Amino acid sequence: MMRFLQWLHRWTSLIIGMQVMIWLITGMYFSIAGHRTLEAHQYRQQTHFHDALQSASTGTAMVPLKQLPLTANTIQSVSVRLVHGVPQYVISTERGTEYFNASTGALWHTSAELATQIAQAGYRGPGRVSYVSAVANSDEIYGWQGPGFRVNFADDLATRIYVDSASGTIVDHRNKLWVFGDWAFRLHFMDYSGGRNFNHLLMVSAALFMLWFALSGLILLGRNLARGDLNPRQRPSYLAYFQKREQPIASACGGGGTCGLCTVRFNANVPAPNAADKQLLTDSQLAQGIRLGCQHRFDAKAKVSVVNQGAEQLNLVLQHKRQLSPSVSELTFSCADRTEPFAYQAGQFLQFIIPTANEHEPLRRNYSFAAAPSRMPNNTFMVAVRCMPAPKPGLNPGVGSSYLLGLQPGATMTAEGPMGEFLLTDRNTSQRMQVFIGGGVGVAPLRALIQSELKQSSARPIHFFYGARTPEELCYEQEFRALHAQGVVHYHSCVSEVSEDAESTATKHDKPMMVHELAEQWLAHQHPNQVDVYVCGPPPMLRATLAMLDQLKVPAKHIKFDDFGI
């Protein structure tokens, strides 16, 4: 729950921050533009004839009030004014205001010619009338229902004056600067409908967002104070503590609590698991006192050890490079100056230390072993590295992959390991079918696991579902097809992109397919309790596959996965 609260707080702060920037920009525009610009009154005639009209005798014979065709019986007020030389009755009744020609007694009517004359009298700019159009209403005049006329002037501001047909009065001026100011007003007050109503759903929602932001901020502040995160003498996390002591500990997210690799075991004073612990660790691990090292602060009273006790620092020499696909290369390393055999298990990984460069500090990148120990000479292992191109122009390509792929045979570097628990299930407790689902370079640890299973005198049934973007990207394709032909591995491959003018020898499917879809077709006919499933690949493929397995009711304890984070 706390993890979700933190996630929602961050996104709420982003939304509020964007609105604050809008307030600052539009508020600055209001102060610079001034009210005349915002009201489009640059060319308004301030002393036009309406301001000088009197409700006294006009010197013209007028029809008596009793002869007017009023629609109401009760008159509240009466006034007389001149509209471009013509006397007009303005009569207020309980039904509203009515306008009559005082000379004829008829209901007032404004013609296009009269509207033009009225607009010209209220205009003091350099332009001339370009055209006049009758309008029923306008989105530019809030609250005016019309009908009337829009008189357009050919000036530098594209001024237009609206004249009300019922009263013969100028409703208001508008121009192109007003349009910009109107949008600034809408953005400033979040009044995107233009109704000039501040009590709308968006405003209420914004207020609730602000309330949520404040309350969640207080909750997170209390959590941080309780954890000591705001202490000037901040205690380091166990991840930072062990890294500072140069004790190998896995991490792929830099302490963000998302990779689940930096596991430590509490032997005393075991803290309560937080949201990240519960999400990334199993119930069995939590019961054993295992927690994420990045999520808990160092406590001198606690007895804590790294779960991967066998990890050590290794000095490596690159022996060989081999291109597996257009984007994936196989690198073979040996451990330099080592007398004792280097032991690792299939499914584990090494943490390569990328040296400092101009663009970055020392970095750590994880790469899984691509072959079982039994297939490699002593103190030798191989990894598969995918070239990570720049996500878009102007950004650097992947730092770790670029460095490793740039090494030449004979080059040296440092790594820590072995680490990880992406291992085969214990044969003493499970004789279930072994199902491997991989995507792209995720084939590396799965290949090692399959080789390790095949080494057994009586291997369990193996099904391997492997997918890539194109047939050329399927690594170790011939090797797995040979195992399939021998009947020791049931190999199923697919690609998500198939060229129309090229025949695919990598898949027997006549259309592109995602690997989790291919696996689902087979798993749907298997009993969910009779399979052990191993999944490795890019995050989208991993999420889709885990969702598929959950839908098929495969028990979570029968599923192991390794997220390459590509």
Q: Are residues 397 and 333 in the same domain?
A: yes
Q: Give 228-273 pLDDT, tens digit per residue.
A: 565 555 678 888 888 888 778 887 777 778 788 888 999 888 888 9
Q: Does the residue 164 lie in any domain?
A: yes
Q: Which three-class secondary structure state does DSSP give residue 393? A: coil
| Same domain assignment for residues 59 and 144 | yes
Query: Are residue 443 and residue 493 in the same domain, yes or no?
Result: yes
Dist CA 250 CA 185 (whole Å): 53
Looking at residue 360, its pLDDT comes to 65
Res 474: pLDDT: 95
Residue found by looking up tokens 């009263």 in the block: 167
**In this model, does residue 453 exceed pLDDT 50?**
yes
Strands 303-306 and 328-335: unpaired
Is residue 137, in this structure, part of any structural domain at all? yes
CA distance 221 to 219: 5
Shared-domain flag, residues 301 and 355: no
Of residues 98 and 36, more confidence is placed in 98
* Strand blocks (E) in 423-537: 433-439, 462-468, 490-495, 531-537
Average pLDDT score over residue span 75-93: 88
For β-strands 290-292 and 312-323, DSSP reports them as unpaired
37 occurs within a structural domain: no
Q: What share of the chain is helix, strand, coil (3-state, %, to 5)?
A: 30, 25, 40
Domain hosting 400: range is: 312-419
Strand runs labelled E in 84-127: 86-93, 96-101
Q: How many domains does the chain have?
A: 5
Give the pLDDT confidence score for residue 46 in this predicted structure.
67
Say yes or no to pLDDT of 470 above 70: yes
Do 282 and 316 belong together in one domain?
no
Do 545 and 484 fall into the same domain? yes
> What is the amino acid identity at position 199?
N
395 and 500 both lie in a single domain: no
Task: Write the pLDDT tens digit of every residue in 143-181.
Answer: 888 899 999 999 999 999 999 999 999 999 999 998 888
2: pLDDT confidence band, cut at 50, 70 and 90? low
CA atoms within 13 A on the CB side of 220: 16
Of the residues 388, 419, 450, the one at which a domain ends:
419
In a domain, residue 25? The reply is no
pLDDT band at 420 (very low <50, low <70, confident <90, very high): confident
Residue 227 lies in a domain: no
Looking at the structure, do residues 458 and 413 belong to the same domain, yes or no? no
Q: Are both 297 and 317 inside the same structural domain? A: no
Residue 41 within a domain: no
Does residue 55 have a pLDDT over 80? no
The region of weakest confidence among 249-253, 273-277, 480-484 is 249-253
Q: Give the pLDDT score at 261.
A: 83
Question: Residue 504 above 50 pLDDT?
Answer: no
Q: Give the per-residue pLDDT at 114.
A: 93
Position 566 pLDDT exceeds 50: no
Q: Is residue 403 part of a domain?
A: yes
Q: What is the mean pLDDT of residues 543-556?
A: 95
Higher per-residue confidence, 324 vs 13: 324
The reply to whether 391 and 461 lie within a common domain is no
Q: Is the pLDDT of residue 48 over 50?
A: no
In the predicted structure, residue 395 carries a pLDDT above the cut 80: no
* Average pLDDT of every residue of the chain: 86
Domain stops at, among 174, 193, 210: 174
Tell whether 253 and 355 lie within a shared domain. Answer: no
Residue 1: band (very low, low, confident or very high) from pLDDT cuts 50, 70, 90: low
Q: Are 515 and 483 in a shared domain?
A: yes
Task: Reply yes or no on whether the pLDDT at 311 is more than 90.
Answer: no
In a domain, 28, yes or no: no
- State the Cα–Cα distance between residues 126 and 49, nearest whole angstrom: 19
- CATH classification of the domain holding 377: 2.40.30.10
Which of 259, 288, 306 is the last residue before a domain boundary? 306
**pTM for this entry:** 0.59
| CATH number for position 270 | 3.10.20.30
Model confidence at 536: pLDDT above 80: yes
Longest dimension (CA), the chain: 123
Average pLDDT over residues 398-424: 91
pLDDT in tens, 342-359: 899 999 999 999 887 766
The whole-number pLDDT of residue 195 equals 62
In this structure, are strands 433-439 and 531-537 parallel, antiparallel, or unpaired?
parallel
